Structure 1
Amino acid sequence: MDDKILAASSKHPKPVDRVFQYGTAGFRMKANLLDSVVFRVGLVAALRSRKLGGQTIGIMITASHNPPEDNGVKLVDPMGEMLENSWEAYSTDLANAKDEDLLKVYKGLEEKLKVNRETPARVIYARDTRASGPALVRALVDALQATGSEYTDYKLLTTPQLHYLTRCTNTEGTPQSYGEVSEKGYYEKLSEAFVRAMKGKKTVGTVTVDCANGVGGPKLHELVKYLKKGSEGGVDIKIINDDVLKAESLNHECGADFVKTKQRAPPTSKAGNNERCCSLDGDADRIIYYFNDPEHGFRLLDGDKIATLAASFIGDLVREARLSDELKIGVVQTAYANGASTKYVEKSLGLPVACTPTGVKWLHHAATKFDVGVYFEANGHGTVVFSPQALKAFRTKDPESPAQAAALETLRALADLINQTVGDALSDMLLVETILAHKTWTPREWDLTYVDLPNRLVRVEVKNRYLFKTTDAERKLVEPQGLQEQIDALVSKVRDGRSFARASGTEDAVRVYAEAATRGEADDLASKVAGLCRQEGIGS
C-alpha cells in the first residue's frame, strides 16, 4: 500500500507555500488549488473508515454558495453528521504535509490512531454541478484505490442527499435503519412523509423555488415527480434558476446567499404579490423564503423565521400529544439571529434559546441536548433533531382523544420528513409548506409573527481572515486588540443596536452584522463597523 500511495501522490503534488485549513465547511478555495487536498482527503477517509471498523464515510465535493470557480471537499461521519472535531486537525495536517513527508505523516496517523490496515475501508462520494468536479473526483479515486478502499460514486447529489445516503448505508438492516440506500429512497421517504404530515390539509397557490442554477435544480425536478399536486393534498412548485449547463450561472444573481445579502428577489422571479417564494443555495443545504408585500415590498423570511415557525408548530403538537412534561424543546441560534426572533422564542413561545458559534456542527451538537432541538442559522441552514426518547414517545404514547392521536401521527410524519442528519433545503421546504397548510397562513401572516429589527450583513475582503479572533459565541472580538471597544462605542449610539464582526469560515473575508431600530441606523452601523475592519490595514 505504501508504494501505491507514493505513486498516486506524485500525480497530485501540493502547491508550494499554500496553507490549508479544514474549516466549517471542510476545505474550500479556488478549484485549481484543490487537487492535492482532495487526494489527501481520500487518504483521511480511508483512515477514518478503518478506525471505525469499516463503517462507511461520505465525501462531498462542493463549494455551496461560493462562486463557480471555487470548489471544496468535506467528510461526512457514519451517521450523516459532520466530521468529528479531532479529525479536522488530522485532515489539516495531512493536507499541509510536504509531498516528500506525506507517507510519513500518513503512517504516523495510522500508528497514533491504532488503525489496522487489514480492516476494510468503505467510502461513498458525490459532487455538485461545478465544472471542476469531475477532475477532483479523479484525484479522490486515486487515493481510494491506493488505500485499497471500497467506494461508490453517487455522481451528482445535493449535500444533504449524500449525508442521507451515508447514514442509510451504515444503518441498513438495523433497528436504526434510516431509509433505502438510494437516491430514489430519499425521494420516496420525503414524499411519503409529506403525504402523512399534510393529512388532508391543502396548500394554497404555487411556491416559486429558485435553485441557484445548482444541483438543487435537477434534484427538485426529480422530487416533484414523487409529490402530489396542490389540489390533491400536495404542493404546486414552479422551478426557476435551474440551468446547470452554463457553469458561470451558478449562484449568479440568484440563490439563498444573493437574496439574503441583497434583500431582494432574484431578477428572474416573476412571482406575484403575496406569493410564496424560496431560494436554495448551490448545494441545496440552505433555504430562505420571501414574498412581495403590496404595501411594504420585498419581505424576507429567513432562517430565524423558519426556526420560529417550526418551533411554534412542533411545540403545539407536543402539547396536543400531551408530551410536554416528558420532552424538552429548545431553539439553537447563532449571533446572526435577529434580536427580535430571540425575544419571540423566549417570551411568546416560552422556549429556551441556546447561542453557539457559527457553523452547523456547533448548532447541531447543541440541538442534540434537547429532545426536540430546532436549529437554523439566519442564512437558512438548519433542521430539527429528535432524541431517541422523543421518537419512542411519538411511537408508543397511547392517545386518549382523536386530537391527541392526530398530533402524535403528525409528529411521527415530521420525524421522517425532516432530514435529521443535516440542513436540507428540499426537506425544509416541505416542512414549511406543511406548517403553512396546517395553520392556513399566508406568507404575510407568517411574517407578522414578529417584526425583525432592520439588519445588514456586509462582507469585507481581507488578506488573512485568521487575524480576527472572537469569543462569546463569536459575538465579541478579542483580536485585533481594541477593535471591539470601537464597535461597542458605535453600537451604543443607536437604538436597539447590536453589531459584531467575525472571520468567514470559508473565504478570506470578514462578515460584519449590524441591527438597529431603523433601516438607516442599521445600514449606517454596518458601514461604520466594516470601515473599522478596513482601517485595521488588513482589509482591502
Structure 2
Amino acid sequence: MADAIAEAARRHPAPEGLVYTYGTAGFRTKAEVLDSVMTRCGLIAALRSRALKGKWIGVMITASHNPPQDNGVKLVEPLGNMLQEEWEVISTVMANKATPEDVSKYYHEIAAQYKIDLSSPARVVVARDTRASGARLLNCVTDGLKGADVEYKDYGFLTTPQLHYMVRCLNTEGTPESYGIATEKGYYEKFAQAFKTALGSKRPQGHLTVDGANGVGGPKLTELIKYLPPKEEGLDISVINDNVIKPESLNVDCGADFVKTNQRAPPSSKAGPGDRCCSLDGDADRIVFYFRDANNMFHLLDGDRIATLVASFLGDLVRQSGLAESIKIGVVQTAYANGAATNYVEKNLKLKVDCTATGVKYLHHAAEKLDVGVYFEANGHGTVIFSADTLETIEKHEPRSPAQKEALDVLSACINLINQAVGDALSDMLLVEVVLAHKNWGPQEWLSTYDDLPNRLLKVIVADRRIFETTDAERRLVKPEGIQKEIDQEVQKVRQGRSFARASGTEDAVRVYAEAATRAEADDLARKVADIVKSAGK
C-alpha cells in the first residue's frame, strides 16, 4: 500500500515554493498549481472514510464565484456538512508535503494516530463544476483514490449543494433519517414535490428571472423546472447566463458575487421595473435577489433579507400550528449583517440573534445548537437547520383546528424544501418564492420591511494579514495593539456608526466594513478606518 500511495503522489508532483491552506472554502487557487493537492485530497478522503467505518465522503471540485482560471476542492462529511476542523489541518499538512515518500509516510502516520484499518472499505463520491480545468483535476483526484484502493462514484457535473445532498442520501439510505434518493432525479423530485406541497393553492406574483452565472446552476435549474408544476400553476421562470459551453464566461459580469459587490444587475439582464430577479454563483450554493423600482433604482435583497423573510415566515407557521411554546427560532449572522437587519429580527420579529465569525462553517455550527436555526451570510449563502428534537415535536404534534393543520402541513413541506445539508441556491430560491406567494408580496413589499443602513466594504492590501487578530466574532481587533481604540474614536463621530476590520481568509488583505446613518458618513468612516489599517499594516 505504501508504494501505491507514493506512486499516486509521484504522478502529480507538488510545485516548489508554494504553500497551500485548507480555508473556509477548502483549497482554492489558480487551477494549474492544484494537481498535487487534488491527488492528496483523494488520499485524505480515503482516510476520512475509513476513520468513519466506510461512510461516504464527498469531494467537490469547484472554485465557486472565483474567476474561470481558478479551481479548488473541498471535502464533505457524511451528513453533507463541512470537513471537521482537525481534518482541515491534516489536509493542509498533507498538501504541503515535499516528496511522494513524505506523502506516504504522513498517510500512514495519520492511519496509526487515528487507529484506521487501511484494509477496511473506503467510499467516496466526486463531482465538479463546469470549469475547463475540472476534467484534468478530476483525474488527479481519482489517481489518489485508486492509490488508496477506494470505491468511488463520479457524478460528473453537479452543483456543490447537489453533491452535499448525494453524500447525505448515500449515508442515510435505509435508515429512519433517510434524506432522499442519491440521484439527480431524486434531488429534483424531492425539492419539486416539497415546493408544490408548500405552495398549496397560493401563486407567486409575476415572473422570475434567474441569472445562472454561466455556471453549473443554469443547466441544473433548467432540469429542475421540468419537475416543477407548470408555470400557470406555479412559478414562471426564465434562465439567463446559462452558457456553460464557454467556460471562460463563468462569473464574468454576472452571478451573485458580481451583483452583491457592484450593487447592480448583470449587464445582460433585460428585466423591467418591479420584475423579480435573482443570481446564483458559479457552483449554485449562493443566491441574492434584486429588482429595479418604478424609478429604475436598483434594490438588492441579499442574504440578510432572505434570512429575515424566512425567519418571519417560519415564526408565523410555528405560531399558527400551535407550537410557539415548544419551538424557538433563532437567526445566526456574521458581523457583515446590516445593523438594520439585526434590529428588525430582535425588535420586530422578537427572535434571538447570534453572531459568529465569518465563514459558513461557523454559522452552521451555531445554527445546529438552536431548535430552528436560520443562517445566511450577507453574500447569499445559507440555509435553515431543524434539530432532531424539533423535527420529532413537529411530527408528533396534533393540530386542534383546520387552520393549525394547514400551517403544520406547510411547515412540514418547508422542512423538505430546505436543503439542510448546506446552503443551496436552487432550494433557497424555491423557499423564497413560497414565502412571497403566501404573504402575497412582490419585491417592493419585501424591501419595505426595514431600511438598510448605508454601508461600505473596502479591501486594504497589507504586507502580512496575520498581524491582524480579532475577538468578539471578528468585530474587534486585539492586534496590532491600539488600533481598535483608533477605530472606536472614528465610529463615535458618526450617527448609527459601526465598523470593523478583519483579515481576509484567502489573500493578504484586510476587509474593512463600515455603516452609518447616511451614505456620506458610511463612506467617510470606511475610508478613515482603511487608513488606520493601512498605516498599521505597513
| Equivalent pair of 2:191/2:427 in contact (CA under 8 Å) | yes
Q: Which residue of 2 aligns with 1:262?
A: 262
Alignment RMSD (CA, Å):
1.3
Can you list the C-alpha shifts for 1:98-146, whole angstroms capped at 9, x where unaligned? 2142111111111101100121010001111111111111110000000
Residues 391-402 of structure 1: pairs in structure 2 closer than 5 A? 391-402=391-402
Residue 469 of structure 1, CA deviation: 2.1
Q: Secondary structure at the match of 2:57?
A: strand
| Equivalent pair of 1:25/1:505 in contact (CA under 8 Å) | no
Looking at structure 2, the residues matched to 218 and 535 of structure 1 have their Cα atoms a distance apart, in angstroms, of 47
Amino acid at match of 2:341: S
Q: Which residue of 1 aligns with 2:416?
A: 416
Looking at structure 1, the residues matched to 492 and 81 of structure 2 have their Cα atoms a distance apart, in angstroms, of 40
The answer on 1:183 being equivalent to 2:184 is yes
Residue 56 of structure 1, CA deviation: 0.3
| Equivalent pair of 1:321/1:405 in contact (CA under 8 Å) | yes
Residue 510 of structure 1, CA deviation: 2.5
Q: Secondary structure at the match of 1:229?
A: coil
Residue 248 of structure 1, CA deviation: 2.1
Residue 462 of structure 1, CA deviation: 4.0
| Equivalent pair of 1:332/1:354 in contact (CA under 8 Å) | yes
Residue ranges of structure 1 left out of the alignment (5+ in a row): none
| Equivalent pair of 2:496/2:515 in contact (CA under 8 Å) | yes
Q: Secondary structure at the match of 1:140?
A: helix
Aligned length: 537
Can you list the C-alpha shifts for 1:224-272, whole angstroms capped at 9, x where unaligned? 111123321x101111111112222111111111111111111111111
Looking at structure 1, the residues matched to 320 and 256 of structure 2 have their Cα atoms a distance apart, in angstroms, of 34
Q: Which residue of 1 aligns with 2:17?
A: 17
Residue 287 of structure 1, CA deviation: 0.5
Q: Which moved more, 1:245-254 or 1:179-188?
A: 245-254
Looking at structure 1, the residues matched to 14 and 257 of structure 2 have their Cα atoms a distance apart, in angstroms, of 31
Q: Which residue of 1 aligns with 2:230?
A: 229
Residues 137-286 of structure 1: pairs in structure 2 closer than 5 A? 137-232=138-233, 234-286=234-286
Residues 116-515 of structure 1: pairs in structure 2 closer than 5 A? 116-232=117-233, 234-295=234-295, 297-515=297-515
Residue 467 of structure 1, CA deviation: 3.2
Looking at structure 1, the residues matched to 72 and 507 of structure 2 have their Cα atoms a distance apart, in angstroms, of 11
Residue 66 of structure 1, CA deviation: 1.0
Residue 482 of structure 1, CA deviation: 3.1
Q: Secondary structure at the match of 1:8?
A: helix
Q: Which moved more, 1:46-55 or 1:213-222?
A: 213-222
Q: Secondary structure at the match of 1:24?
A: coil
| Equivalent pair of 1:204/1:230 in contact (CA under 8 Å) | no
Q: Which moved more, 1:94-103 or 1:55-64?
A: 94-103
| Equivalent pair of 2:61/2:73 in contact (CA under 8 Å) | yes
Looking at structure 2, the residues matched to 490 and 229 of structure 1 have their Cα atoms a distance apart, in angstroms, of 55
Q: Which moved more, 1:477-486 or 1:365-374?
A: 477-486
Q: Which residue of 1 aligns with 2:34?
A: 34
Looking at structure 2, the residues matched to 110 and 29 of structure 1 have their Cα atoms a distance apart, in angstroms, of 28
Q: Which moved more, 1:139-148 or 1:507-516?
A: 507-516
Q: Secondary structure at the match of 1:258?
A: helix
Looking at structure 2, the residues matched to 507 and 229 of structure 1 have their Cα atoms a distance apart, in angstroms, of 46
- Identify if the C-alpha distance between structure 1 residues 260 and 374 changes in structure 2 by more than 3 Å, giving closer, same or farther: same
Q: Which moved more, 1:477-486 or 1:508-517?
A: 477-486
| TM-score, normalised by the number of residues in structure 2 | 0.98
Q: Which moved more, 1:38-47 or 1:287-296?
A: 287-296
Amino acid at match of 2:152: Y
Q: Secondary structure at the match of 2:25?
A: coil
Looking at structure 2, the residues matched to 398 and 235 of structure 1 have their Cα atoms a distance apart, in angstroms, of 32
Amino acid at match of 1:366: A
Can you list the C-alpha shifts for 1:362-404, whole angstroms capped at 9, x where unaligned? 1111111111110001111000001112212222211111110
Looking at structure 1, the residues matched to 280 and 530 of structure 2 have their Cα atoms a distance apart, in angstroms, of 27
Q: Secondary structure at the match of 2:232?
A: helix
Looking at structure 2, the residues matched to 226 and 463 of structure 1 have their Cα atoms a distance apart, in angstroms, of 51
Amino acid at match of 1:57: I
Q: Which moved more, 1:483-492 or 1:69-78?
A: 483-492
Residue 494 of structure 1, CA deviation: 1.3
| TM-score, normalised by the number of residues in structure 1 | 0.97
Q: Secondary structure at the match of 2:194?
A: helix
| Equivalent pair of 1:202/1:230 in contact (CA under 8 Å) | no
Residue 458 of structure 1, CA deviation: 2.1
| Equivalent pair of 2:205/2:441 in contact (CA under 8 Å) | no
- Identify if the C-alpha distance between structure 1 residues 336 and 33 changes in structure 2 by more than 3 Å, giving closer, same or farther: same
Residue 506 of structure 1, CA deviation: 3.0
Q: Secondary structure at the match of 2:314?
A: helix
Residue 491 of structure 1, CA deviation: 1.6
Looking at structure 2, the residues matched to 318 and 537 of structure 1 have their Cα atoms a distance apart, in angstroms, of 49
Amino acid at match of 2:190: K
Q: Which moved more, 1:222-231 or 1:328-337?
A: 222-231
Looking at structure 1, the residues matched to 305 and 463 of structure 2 have their Cα atoms a distance apart, in angstroms, of 34
Q: Which moved more, 1:528-537 or 1:275-284?
A: 528-537
Looking at structure 2, the residues matched to 66 and 535 of structure 1 have their Cα atoms a distance apart, in angstroms, of 29
Q: Secondary structure at the match of 1:383?
A: strand
- Identify if the C-alpha distance between structure 1 residues 270 and 70 changes in structure 2 by more than 3 Å, giving closer, same or farther: same
Between the aligned residues of both structures, percent identity stands at 64
- Identify if the C-alpha distance between structure 1 residues 529 and 229 changes in structure 2 by more than 3 Å, giving closer, same or farther: farther
Looking at structure 2, the residues matched to 203 and 209 of structure 1 have their Cα atoms a distance apart, in angstroms, of 15
| Equivalent pair of 1:25/1:506 in contact (CA under 8 Å) | no
Q: Secondary structure at the match of 1:14?
A: coil
Looking at structure 1, the residues matched to 357 and 435 of structure 2 have their Cα atoms a distance apart, in angstroms, of 28
Q: Which moved more, 1:412-421 or 1:62-71?
A: 62-71
- Identify if the C-alpha distance between structure 1 residues 507 and 222 changes in structure 2 by more than 3 Å, giving closer, same or farther: farther
Looking at structure 2, the residues matched to 462 and 165 of structure 1 have their Cα atoms a distance apart, in angstroms, of 41
Q: Which residue of 2 aligns with 1:57?
A: 57
